[in-house]
Each structure stands twice: as structure tokens, then as C-alpha cells.
Amino acid sequence: MRADAERDPGSQDVAPPGYPPDFGAGEREREALLTLSTLRGITPRKLHALAWRVGSAVGCVAAIRSGSAGSQADRRFLGAAEPARIQAQLNACAGRILGPHDPGYPSAFADLLYDPPAWLYVRGAQLPDQPDRVAVVGARRCSALGREIAHDIGRRLGGIGVHVVSGGAFGIDAAAHRGALAGGGVTIGVLGSGVDVLYPRSSADLLLQIAERGALVSEYPPGQGAEPHHFPARNRLVVALSRAVVVVEGAGRSGSRISVDHALDLGRDVFAVPGPVTSPLSETPHEIIRDGATLIRGADDLLADLGYEQARANDAVAPAGLTDTELRVWRALATTSLSDGVARAAHVAIPEAVTILIRLELRGLVRGVGGRYERTFAGVSGGIEA
């Protein structure tokens, strides 16, 4: 699914792409960026237009302070802004702020014609300016199968050196990040909070791992908590950083749909994993597949479609390390089955089948669902979720 149609720039008053040549360069400009990042009233789009009108970050601060730009709320925030305190908070988490002309500021943000970030807070490694980044997005309240698929896609991408980009949230985001780390790869978390605010708290350990082995990035200053309106804005950065977007589960009108809309606007490839037609979590994937997104069944399809032909071979048709009896039990789970049905198909006694099923479940190769057993996605793809 691609959107290669030209975007109408509108009137001749629309600002050029990117930022003026010296915007954000130098100590006074850097201090102005720190100050501007505390504002809550002026949108990235309006700030971008203002930057071209006045030519500098210092000029933007002056225009807002004088009342010729921004709002009363912005002027209140300017009055309370303390750049030295923001910098101290940034130093405390080993973070940094990048202006649009600094090394490490992603050139891909130039594709955001109307609202490129005027700064980027980064915690972790420098972002290499390379095209091999893929976004994996989806539902926070995902299914076990969706989590396994996202983990496997992240693992396979990370294992061949493709950087996995996602939003650091519950569910599909977290699974994709964990998969990339499990595959020995690099992953980038784009946050809806400051880079020192580990949100959600339950993912704090994961976010620290991302900062150590990849990078956390945000438009929001240190200390800024996550707020609902931050996440749609965050999604445009997830997409802009990536050459393609993969959707694994998402209810209708979800954040995943917003990411797809950004991808279409930026001309990124869009892939979707289908699900049960009765599941609300299949609404967004099925909708975008009908609209032209590429259907993928898992990592093999994605790697092939992205041109990584040498990485297509899966780890194993069946899980490695199983005894002959365990393999018969695993193969008996061609469909979801009760333990007595598995025992008959595998030609073993029911107690032995139950014992083996429990053993396979502990290894992450099968799972029990309402008294029945089924293979996990990890159990057919060679990767077990960490």
C-alpha cells in the first residue's frame, strides 16, 4: 500500500521544508529550543511556519513573548521556563537535545513538510541516517497471538540489522521492541513523554534496555508526563523514521489507523497481518488490506516483500530439541484440540499426552485455551518470546 500522489503545498505562503539554515545553532539558539519545548499551545505546524517567518529559535521566543505569535498560555509557559533546569534534567538521564541541523537529527524528518520537529530529545545511541528502519505498530490490548507475531517480526528484523521503530507502549509496541532486542538488534522507542519519564511504568525495564541498546526519542522535554494528545503527534515521528509500517492488530479508529494515514501521506509502504474476522482487533488490519495494504502472514512475507531475500529462511519447520514422542504430540496439534484428541493422534496414553503438553507449554511452544491446546506462533516460527 503506497501513497505516491503529490501533496498539494497549498498557497505560496506555505513554509519550505526543514528549517532556516542557522535555526537551533549556537548557545543562544539551543537555549531558545529548550524554552520552546516547554510550550503547550503552539503546534509543530505553527512553529514551523513561524520559524521561517522570523528565521531563528530566538526570534520565535521573542515573537511569542511579544504577542505576535502563540497564545496567552504560551506566554505563561515562557514566563515559567527555565532552560538551565531543563538541561540539568537532560544531563541527569544522559540525554541530549538535537536541533534540526545537528548531526544525528534524522534527515527523514524532512519528509514531514508541514510539521517537522524543531528539536529532538534523544537518550541512547546516535540515530544512524540509514533507510533500514521498519515501524511495527498495533493494539495496546492485543491478543497473545498478536504479541507473538509482533515479537517474531521484531526478532527477525533485528537479527538482520534492520532497526525496529515503535512507540514504547503496551502490547504490540512492547512485543516488537522485545523481539528486536532478543534478535540482537537495535530498536528505537518514540515516546509521548520526556525521555526521562519511563511510561508506562510497567515497561520501565524494557525502556531502559532500549536506551542502552538503541535509543529513546521524544519531542517533549524532560519531566513531561505522557498525555493523550501526545500520542497522535508521536505517531508521525514513528512513521517518518521508517521505510515501512507494519500493523499487527488494531481496533477501528485506533492509533494504528492514524499511523497508516501518516504513512500514506509520506509514501511509506504499509503491511498488515490479518486476524479472525470476528475479532475487533482485526478491524484496522482488514480495513487497510481492503484499501490496498500488503497482506503478510508473518516475518517471512515481510522480509521477502522488503527485499531481504537471504533472510527469508525460517529457523525450523518444527521446534528443535524435541524427543520423538514430544514431536508427535506437537504435530498432533494441527488444530486446537483437547488432550484426549492429542493423545489419540499421537498414539500415546492420555496422562503422557497431558505431561508432554504441559512440558511444551512451559517451553512456550503450545498454550492451553479453555481446556484445549494449540501451537503458539513461537512454536511454528522458531522463536520463543523473551
Render 16-84 in DSSP notation, one character per residue.
PSS--TTTT-SHHHHHHHHHHTT-SSS-HHHHHHHHHHH-SHHHHHHHHHHTSSS-HHHHHHHHH--HH
Supply the pLDDT for residue 52. Answer: 97
**Which amino acid, 279?**
S
Contacting residues for 319 by C-beta, under 8 A, at least 6 apart = 330, 363, 365, 379, 382
- Quote the cell numbers at residue 179: 523481539
CATH 3.40.50.450 fits 133-311, yes or no: yes
Supply the pLDDT for residue 5. Answer: 38
**Which amino acid, 229?**
H
Contacting residues for 223 by C-beta, under 8 A, at least 6 apart = 86, 89, 194, 196, 197
Q: Give tens-digit pLDDT for 338-357.
A: 999 899 888 899 999 999 99
Is the previous residue joined to 200 through a cis bond, with omega within 30 degrees of 0? yes
- Which residues in the chain come in under a pLDDT of 50? 3-12, 312-316, 382-386
User: What share of the chain has pLDDT > 70, as a percent?
Assistant: 91
What ranges do the domains of the chain cover? 27-118, 133-311, 324-381
| CATH T-level topology, domain 324-381 | Arc Repressor Mutant, subunit A (1.10.10)
**Which amino acid, 267?**
G
List for the chain the helix, strand, coil content (%; round to 5).
45, 15, 40
Query: Sheet containing 372-375: which strands, arranged edge to edge?
Result: 337-338, 372-375, 366-369
Supply the pLDDT for residue 384. Answer: 41
